[in-house]
């Protein structure tokens, strides 16, 4: 009987650790949750608001590795350290795509929390110019 209880407790503990290691990410474009994954990329214009909510490891670094595919050809890559998750593992990024032409093009981003990939692992966002906003 004790062995069975011990095994059950160990299984529960391992399950709790595995669940805690899951890094989740959601994207809202102008307040609407959308997948923004390579199979269903988001297309936005300059002036669009974006919010990214992450939940993962507590007190851990939030990092995004980005590749920007430029409209005229070529690409740039960089890594951005965005901050640290809260003690409950939550992190929120808010922003608006500006009128600078350097944001226009296709972006592929890999987000991590504490070095662990988020789910989804890759975001794809296509940014075009909105002449009404950036006249």
Q: Is residue 9 part of a domain?
A: no
Q: Is residue 47 part of a domain?
A: yes
Q: Is residue 104 part of a domain?
A: yes
Q: Is residue 8 part of a domain?
A: no
More confident residue, 98 or 7: 98
Tens digits of per-residue pLDDT, 75-133?
999 999 999 999 999 999 999 999 888 899 999 999 999 999 999 999 999 999 999 88
Tens digits of per-residue pLDDT, 12-44?
333 333 444 578 999 999 999 999 999 999 999
The answer, yes or no, to whether residue 8 has pLDDT greater than 80, is no
Q: What is the pLDDT of residue 45?
A: 94
Q: What is the pTM of this model?
A: 0.79
Q: Is residue 2 part of a domain?
A: no
Q: Is residue 14 part of a domain?
A: no
Number of structural domains (the chain) is 1
Tens digits of per-residue pLDDT, 44-72?
999 999 999 999 999 999 999 999 999 98
Q: Is residue 15 part of a domain?
A: no
| CATH code of 108's domain | 2.60.40.1930
Q: Is residue 27 part of a domain?
A: yes
- Of the chain, the end-to-end C-alpha distance in Å amounts to 74
Distance of alpha carbon 34 from alpha carbon 27, whole angstroms = 6
Q: What is the pLDDT of residue 125?
A: 96
Q: What is the pLDDT of residue 12?
A: 33
Distance of alpha carbon 134 from alpha carbon 15, whole angstroms = 50
Structural domain range at position 40: 23-134
Q: What is the pLDDT of residue 73?
A: 92
Going by their DSSP bridges, the two strands 116-128 and 42-45 should be labelled as: parallel
Q: What is the pLDDT of residue 6?
A: 41
């Amino acid at each position: 009987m004790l062995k069975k209880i011990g095994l059950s407790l160990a299984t529960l503990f391992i399950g709790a650790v595995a669940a805690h290691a899951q890094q989740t990410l959601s994207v809202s474009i102008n307040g609407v949750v959308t997948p923004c994954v390579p199979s269903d990329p988001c297309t936005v214009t300059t002036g669009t608001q974006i919010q990214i909510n992450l939940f993962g490891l507590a007190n851990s670094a939030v990092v995004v590795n980005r590749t920007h595919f430029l409209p005229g050809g070529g690409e740039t890559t960089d890594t951005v350290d965005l901050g640290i998750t809260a003690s409950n593992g939550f992190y929120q990024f808010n922003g608006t795509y500006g009128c600078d032409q350097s944001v226009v093009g296709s972006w592929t981003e890999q987000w991590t929390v504490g070095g662990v990939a988020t789910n989804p692992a890759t975001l794809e966002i296509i940014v075009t110019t909105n002449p009404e906003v950036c006249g």
